[in-house]
């Protein structure tokens, strides 16, 4: 089924042609930006200790320097966009895992497992370390650690409310920060969290909520 917008019945042919052209340009720009994001992450995975060069990114993405600078003011902007894209995907995944559970304690566990999995899966861990290294050089912007922790806190708040937390907003933020910090600890140690680590984290969070 087509998702193209239906033109107004009184739209002129000139306006309709202009709208189609604008839509085509927008779709092409979105495709270029997606390729830049994907290639930037790919290069970071291949050389996790190095920051990829713009020349290498545009060459592999098959776009021009002009196309890059139309989308991003600098490489730091691209790194921030890669981090934001990854954090939104992570939060979407965590929300999906949480929503498969009905018990609030199980919801907390689902979120905790999803966060710690960023350090537990080798391929994901390599990419996450590379992104954190590069975004650390970028100015604070959307997708940074502060935003991710706030988004995860928003996911935890309803479950902590149901568990009887007297201050679910603060408890959710503290729980999110604790989960994220523990994930980073395992990540930089290049150590995989085990079931005892997950259980201890979930027990700590639910105990703080008054379970």
Q: What is the pTM of this model?
A: 0.77
Residues 83 and 59 in one domain: no
Q: Answer whether residue 2 is part of any domain.
A: no
What 3-state DSSP class applies to 101?
Answer: coil
Separation of alpha carbons 81 and 168, rounded Å: 30
Q: Answer whether residue 198 is part of any domain.
A: yes
Residues 58 and 123 in one domain: no
Q: Is residue 18 very low, low, confident or very high in pLDDT (cuts 50, 70, 90)?
A: low
| CATH number where 165 lies | 1.10.357.10
Residues 35 and 106 in one domain: no
- pLDDT at 48 exceeding the cut of 70: yes
Separation of alpha carbons 34 and 41, rounded Å: 11
Q: Answer whether residue 50 is part of any domain.
A: yes
Note the pLDDT tens digit of each residue in 22-45.
666 677 778 888 899 999 999 988
Show which of 54, 71, 88 is a domain's final residue: 71
- In our burial notation (b when 16+ CB lie closer than 10 A, e otherwise), range 86-103 reads bbeebbeebbebbeeeee
- Please name the residue ranges forming H helices in 47-162: 54-61, 65-71, 75-99, 104-120, 122-135, 145-162
Residues 188 and 124 in one domain: yes
Residues 81 and 63 in one domain: no
- pLDDT at 139 exceeding the cut of 50: no
- pLDDT at 67 exceeding the cut of 90: no
Residues 64 and 137 in one domain: no
Separation of alpha carbons 95 and 152, rounded Å: 9
Q: Is residue 134 very low, low, confident or very high in pLDDT (cuts 50, 70, 90)?
A: confident
Looking at every residue in the chain, the average pLDDT score rounds to 85
Burial bucket for residue 42 (CB in 10 Å: 0-12, 13-18, 19+): middle
Note the pLDDT of residue 1.
40
Determine what percent of the chain is predicted with pLDDT higher than 90: 47
Q: Answer whether residue 177 is part of any domain.
A: yes
Note the pLDDT tens digit of each residue in 89-122.
999 999 999 999 999 999 999 999 999 998 888 8
Note the pLDDT of residue 17.
65
Separation of alpha carbons 141 and 168, rounded Å: 26
Note the pLDDT of residue 162.
94
Residues 88 and 32 in one domain: no
Residues 92 and 177 in one domain: yes
Residues 23 and 82 in one domain: no
Show which of 53, 71, 89 is a domain's final residue: 71
Closest CA to 131 of 73, 36, 45: 45
Q: Give the domain extent around 66.
A: 12-71
Q: Answer whether residue 99 is part of any domain.
A: yes
Residues 94 and 184 in one domain: yes
Number of domains in the chain: 2
| Greater model confidence, 1 or 188 | 188
- pLDDT at 50 exceeding the cut of 90: no
């Amino acid at each position: 089924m087509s998702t193209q917008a239906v033109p107004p019945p009184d739209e002129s042919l000139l306006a309709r042609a202009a709208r189609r052209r604008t839509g085509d340009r927008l779709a092409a720009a979105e495709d270029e930006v997606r390729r830049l994001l994907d290639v930037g992450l790919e290069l970071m995975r291949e050389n996790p200790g190095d920051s990829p060069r713009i020349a290498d990114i545009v060459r592999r993405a098959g776009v021009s320097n002009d196309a890059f600078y139309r989308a991003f003011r600098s490489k730091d902007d691209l790194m921030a966009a890669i981090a934001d894209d990854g954090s939104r995907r992570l939060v979407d995944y965590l929300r999906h895992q949480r929503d498969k559970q009905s018990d609030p304690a199980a919801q907390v566990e689902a979120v905790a497992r999803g966060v710690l999995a960023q350090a537990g899966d080798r391929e994901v861990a390599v990419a996450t370390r590379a992104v954190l290294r590069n975004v650390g050089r970028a100015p604070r912007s959307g997708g940074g650690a502060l935003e991710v922790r706030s988004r995860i806190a928003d996911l935890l708040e309803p479950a902590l409310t149901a568990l009887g937390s007297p201050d679910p907003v603060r408890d959710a933020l503290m729980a999110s920060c604790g989960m994220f910090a523990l994930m980073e600890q395992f990540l930089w140690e290049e150590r995989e969290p085990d079931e005892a680590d997950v259980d201890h984290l979930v027990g700590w969070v639910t105990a703080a909520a008054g379970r």
